[in-house]
Each structure stands twice: as C-alpha cells, then as structure tokens.
Amino acid sequence: MLKFYHAPWSRSSGILWLLEELGAEYEMIEIDIRQDGGVPEDYRLIQPNKKVPAIEHDGVVITERAAITIHLADAFPEAGLAPPIGDPMRGPCLSMLVYCDAVFDPALSAKAQGWTYESNDFPFGLAEDMVNHLDRILTERLYAAGDRFTAADVQLGSGIGYTMDNLKVLPERPSFRAYMDRLSDRPANIRAAELDKQMAMNTPYFQKQFGAAPSEA
C-alpha cells in the first residue's frame, strides 16, 4: 500500500509526476498547507515540519524528496528510472537528486528572499554558482544524469520549471529552456500537471486567489 501526502502546486508536485511516470497505484492524501490556521498538529507524526511531500509505503513513512524519489524509483524498477548499482549513471542520478534538495532549493530560496551572503556562510553556497553548475551539466548532457531520462529529471525538471517560469528567480539559460522542451511532452508530466491543476482549483486558497467558486473549479 502506498500513501502519498500532497499539496497541489508545491514541492510535492514533482513526486506526483514521479508516481505517474512509475505507473504506481497510490492513495493521495491532500495536505492543505495553505489553510487558515495551518496544517493540523497530528500531521507531524508523518512529517515533522508539517511539510510535503511524504509517503507511507507498506507501513514505512519516508520524507524528503530525494529519499522518496530514490526509494520509489528503486521500488518500481520496471519503470527504468533508477540506474542500478554498477551503472555509471547511478552516481550522477543520486548526486542530482540530493543537489536539488540540498543546494538548488535553498540557494534559490535565499535569492528569492533577497539575502546577501558569502558562499561559506551557508552549506548550499551561492545561487550564481548553482546556476552555472546546472548550465554546464545541461549543456554537456541531455538529461540530469546522462543520455537518458531518470528519476532525477523529475525533480530537476520540476524545480527548473517552477523557479524559471513561475517564480522568475532562476535566470533563463538556453540549456535550461532546451532541457524543459525535452521534458514537456512526456505523457506522465502532462497527466500530473492536469491532476495538480484540478486539485489546486478545488483548494480554498487558490479559489480565492483566482476568483473561482467551488462549483467553477
């Protein structure tokens, strides 16, 4: 049994895309992270900071996107999204998955907040260094870990798409745009985006933001 704790248009959207790529059966449990009063305290038993995503797979709770992605990609090997041990793409895939959580997200969050700091002030370093690194990687490779699509592309693609096209905090580079073009027509990506939009339009926060009544969503 696989339970997926999700909030639409959030950091858990990449896990929704991953589940669609894997073709896994799952029960989605919506966590309204934007509700008045915040998420109920009992959710801390699943996720200690009351964040998403989280999964519960066969009774075991797993949090943090990199850990969830690695676990799921390994648990559903028939999808071919997890390079096996011994495959030269295994290391780059794992490296990029952790990089998305440990460097990409915090560096861009700091930039979005207008923080000024030195590289050694925080373990994630400077946003400029991160951008240049990804630009080099995606100029050298078709995908995050090499010449084929892996689970790492779900998280990197989700992050680049949101921060470049929506948040406008990631500068647009030709390598980023070409990369997103390679991902945009994947059927699982399209399905996940539609599911996420439908869920978002039934969430009070987004109904208020976009002026949609529940019956119109």
- pLDDT above 90: residue 213: no
Q: What is the pLDDT of residues 169-211, one digit of tens each?
A: 999 999 999 999 999 999 999 999 999 999 999 999 999 988 7
Q: What is the pLDDT of residues 47-58, one digit of tens each?
A: 999 999 999 999
Domain ranges of the chain: 2-79+189-216, 90-184
Cβ atoms of 21 and 69 within 8 Å: the answer is no
Tokens matching residue 89: 């793409």
Instruction: Report the SS3 class of residue 122.
Output: coil
- Global pTM value: 0.94
Residue partners of 29: CB distance under 8 A and separation at least 6: 3, 4, 5, 6
Predicted pLDDT at 159: 98
CB-CB neighbours of 114 under 10 Å: 6
> The domain 90-184: what is its CATH number?
1.20.1050.10
- DSSP string for 142-207: SSSSSSS--HHHHHHHHHHIIIIIIS--SPP-HHHHHHHHHHHT-HHHHHHHHHHHHHHTTSHHHH
Predicted pLDDT at 216: 36
Alpha carbon distance, N-terminus to C-terminus of the chain = 30
Cβ atoms of 4 and 55 within 8 Å: the answer is yes
Inter-axis angle of helices 174-184 and 127-140, to 10 degrees?
60
> The domain 2-79+189-216: what is its CATH number?
3.40.30.10
Distance CA 162, CA 134 (A): 15
Q: How far is CA 73 from CA 18, 29, 44, 159, in A?
A: 8, 20, 25, 18
Predicted pLDDT at 47: 98
- pLDDT above 80: residue 104: yes
Tokens matching residue 164: 């470049």
Cβ atoms of 136 and 118 within 8 Å: the answer is no
